[in-house]
Chain A
Amino acid sequence: MNILTYLIPISLILGGVGLVAFLYTVRSNQYDDPEGDSRRILSDDWDDHPKP
């Protein structure tokens, strides 16, 4: 049962990482244009250099 001492904090931290990642995507407007973003990955406009 001692293994729980590690497992519970680890599971909580991993879950927390997921939560923080989700909150970050919400805060940085990543859900504003879901349709456009899903198509932008197919465009090769900025393949060679990043968008200025």
Chain B
Amino acid sequence: MTVPMRPSPSACPACAAAPAAEALAARALPGAQIALSLPTIHCSACISKIERALNADSRVKSARVNLTLKRASIDAAPEVTAEDMRALVEGLGYEAYELDQGTLNATANDRAGRDLLMRLAVAGFASMNVMLLSVSVWSGAEDATRDMFHWISAAITLPAIAFSGVPFFRNAWAALRNGRLNMDVPIVLAVVLAILTSLWETMLSGEHAYFDAALTLTFFLLAGRYLDHRTRAIARSAAEELTALEVPRAIRLRAGVEEQVNVALLAAGDLILVRPGGRMPVDGVIVEGTSEIDRSLLTGETLPVFAGEGQVVSAGEVNLTGPLTIRATAVGAETSLHRMADLVAIAESGRSRYTSLADSAAKLYAPGVHILAGLSFMGWYLYTWDVRTALNIAAAVLIITCPCALGLAVPAVTTAASGRLFRRGMLIKHETALERLAQVDTVVFDKTGTLTTGMPQLTNLDGLPRAVVEVALALAQGSSHPLAQSITRAARGAGFAAAAVTDITEVPGYGTKGRCNGQEVRLGRASWTGAQALSETATFLKIGDQLPVAFTFADALRPGAAEVVQGLMDQGKRVILISGDTTPAVEALATRLGIPQWMAEALPADKAARVAALTAEGAHVLMVGDGLNDTAALAGAHVSISPATALDAARVASDIVLLGNDLSPIAAACVTAKSATRRIRENFQIATVYNVIAVPLAVAGLCSPLIAALAMSLSSITVSLNALRLR
């Protein structure tokens, strides 16, 4: 405790103690920091309505809505839970979801971006001032005036470059120390050499000084870096928001008392209660309760599996019908969910190390520039035996060839393309993902949760007698089981009314039973209703002693699934379906979508192996998947996409995340990626054309600072405009 406790002159000890205690209380209770995601807010009325309602709550200290991030941050009294605030906002008619504060804190202040912006601002300010002085020199200032302008330019340039150029100096040094050349080495060399020769010229009252060129170069290159950084920061914060939406909480049972704790605090041996609809937070063994569990995210099976006492469950499985108490056997990094990460690491190491277009350009370019500048220095030195002239020309060559347009060529295009794709609901997480997406010729889809929603749809409603459907509806409408909900939806949609069924009870793990007209009616698993199990997903209704009636289901297609498969095939790509589900289910879907190649009952390792085999054949594979069983394949593929509903592990392993429910942007994204790559190549060509025109002038010693400034600005502007043409 650091509260100052000076000896108080007060006679009453309580008077002295009270303020100290208050101060202590204020310190010990820092209050609750709550973040809510508000995806539906869109106007100033929404902001003031939500802020007014939140601030009206007496427990809230302050609340602020951020419309850009569609998020509310609330500073409230410590006893307030996020659930209270969520209910309050939902009461106003807005969707609200809790965001995990721990995950968000990492993104709260983007220090690197701010740092780059500061350097950009300084470079911009300095280059404008120096340019202003240079214009007077170009338009004919002479003698003492010219020298004075040069000296003032030098006074502005030196500190400005020292501050703004730090990112380049750092990168170039890192590359040189490892004995490599990157784009930053020629940049640093050009800037430093330009400044040194200009200083020397200025001291000798020379005519040419390249202070403006050095600064403009830094400014344009920093602009490219900043664009690049922003694109990535936006993608990163959106990806982290997806993770933050899954608040890692579990209900721990201690001496029969339920308490909500963070998943990180769980230990092996803890008893954990998982309510219907909840996801297993850890690996464990069921000690109490029966239910059914949905393992589709782990294995790709659509059929819910019976779960009873003594059965082993894995983290990531979803509990469907009855509450389960599990004893944790493995937590955190030891869970099967995390062990999958090893598989991902192996797959990733196998992924062919992709060289981005920018890197391959730099590899060609960096040595070329150095050789060219070195040769012109040698040539002029041997011709004139004058170090000053030779050095001046070498500096001019470096400045002219410097990758100003090259530095903007890639970021300008990727920023434009990522922004366009983001508006269509695709989040580009990796910087080279677009380039890799453009090369794709084979697309591998997962079935459950990717092409299908994982939500069953009743298929044989038309063939069932009315009375049967009405009894089934009565039994199903109270249940949260996905098959029951599907029956309810289908029957209500077709205009059926529930029959009079009494004494309805749900038997977790088996089904629902009740009484109708004095007979027992049961809706549930085949074994429980005395029916023969079918090969497809089905549930059975047994009325009294009659033969059980089957209700069959098929997985509902995700919106846009048919379009995306058709679209990709129209583009001449090979489409393959690989699933962990049963053969009939996979075959049915493949026929429905017209996918010629499919593979069923694939284990996670099979999927990764198949992707690796395709890669070995020379194919560039795009993997689209959502489950844990897909993670290794996602990481091993040339480029990978996962929907936002996927498990965290799958989203981390993939390069692109699909934010909406619709799959159709994938086909369009392949087209956008292709045109983006074409624009990048065009930009390189434009930059080369400028160099081809200006370099001979520089080598011949005809280049003045004016020509250098013109070439640099024009090429940068052309490149940026070309990037904006992207559709």
Contacts and interface: CB of A to CB of B under 8 A. Distances in A.
Nearest to B67: A36
A43 B48 contact: yes
B48 A26 contact: no
Given A19-B122, A33-B67, A34-B68, A11 B44 contact: no
A39 B118 CA distance: 26
B47 A39 contact: yes
Contact of A15 (B51, B114, B129): B129
A45 B49 CA distance: 10
Interface in B488-509: none
B48 A12 contact: no
Contacts of A33: 66-69
Minimum-distance CB pairs A-B, first 9: A36-B67, A39-B44, A19-B125, A35-B68, A33-B66, A35-B67, A33-B68, A43-B48, A43-B44
B48 to A, nearest CB: 5
B117 interface: yes
Contacts of B326: none
B18 interface: no
B117 A40 contact: no
Interface in A12-52: 12, 15-16, 18-19, 22-23, 26, 32-36, 39-40, 42-43, 45
B43 interface: yes
A40 B68 CA distance: 12
Contacts of B114: 26
A25 B47 CA distance: 22
Nearest to A44: B48
A8 B155 CA distance: 13
A45 B48 contact: yes
B118 A26 contact: yes
Main SS of chain B's interface residues? helix
Given A33-B67, A35-B67, A45-B51, 20 more contacts: A1-B145, A4-B145, A8-B152, A18-B125, A19-B125, A22-B121, A23-B118, A23-B121, A26-B114, A26-B121, A33-B68, A36-B65, A39-B44, A39-B47, A39-B67, A43-B44, A43-B45, A43-B47, A43-B48, A45-B48
Indicate the size class of the contact surface on chain A. Answer: 20 to 34
Main SS of chain A's interface residues? helix
Contacts of A34: 68
Contacts of B65: 36
B696 to A, nearest CB: 36
A40 B43 CA distance: 9
Given A26-B118, A39-B47, A45-B52, A32 B68 contact: yes
A8 to B, nearest CB: 6
A41 B66 CA distance: 14
Contacts of A43: 44-45, 47-48
A25 to B, nearest CB: 10
A19 B129 CA distance: 12
Nearest to B109: A29
B468 interface: no
B387 interface: no
Contacts of A1: 145
Interface in B204-221: none
Interface in B109-159: 114, 117-118, 121-122, 125, 128-129, 132, 145, 148, 152, 156
Interface string B34-60: 000000000111011001100000000
Nearest to B136: A4
A11 B66 contact: no
B44 A19 contact: no
A36 B129 contact: no
B129 A12 contact: yes
A19 B121 contact: yes
Contacts of B47: 36, 39-40, 43
28 contacts: A1-B145, A4-B145, A4-B148, A11-B129, A15-B125, A18-B125, A19-B121, A19-B122, A22-B121, A23-B118, A26-B114, A26-B117, A26-B121, A32-B66, A33-B67, A33-B68, A33-B69, A36-B65, A36-B66, A36-B67, A39-B44, A39-B47, A39-B67, A40-B44, A40-B47, A42-B44, A45-B48, A45-B51
A25 B129 CA distance: 21
B19 to A, nearest CB: 24
A40 to B, nearest CB: 6
A36 B68 contact: yes
A27 to B, nearest CB: 8
Contacts of A19: 121-122, 125
B197 to A, nearest CB: 24
